[in-house]
Amino acid sequence: MSKTSDKGFDCVQLMRRVREELSEEINRFPTSEDRIQWIQSFQHSDPLLRRLQTEAAQHTHPAAGGRRRA
């Protein structure tokens, strides 16, 4: 095996840091409904993400007390 080179950018470290920051932000919300509302408040610039968000909004989230559509 070759010797590991000194990296200038560590993807794993970045992912762990971002995940920790996001978890801390999400945990500020006391209820699942608050978390859902926070997530739904994002306005995505990517067309695919906008479409997925629109499609997801057509389904009621089980944590919000509703039933999922098939």
Query: Using one digit for the tens of pLDDT, what is the confidence trace for 35-68?
Result: 888 887 877 788 888 888 888 878 755 555 555 4
Instruction: Work out the average pLDDT over 9-25.
Output: 93
Does residue 28 or residue 1 have the better pLDDT?
28
**Could you give the CA distance from residue 52 to residue 61 in angstroms, rounded to a whole number?**
14
- Band (pLDDT 50/70/90 cuts) for residue 70 is very low
**Could you give the CA distance from residue 11 to residue 26 in angstroms, rounded to a whole number?**
22
Distance of CA 34 to the CA centre of its chain: 14
What count of residues does the chain have? 70
**Could you give the CA distance from residue 57 to residue 50 in angstroms, rounded to a whole number?**
11
Mean pLDDT of the chain: 79
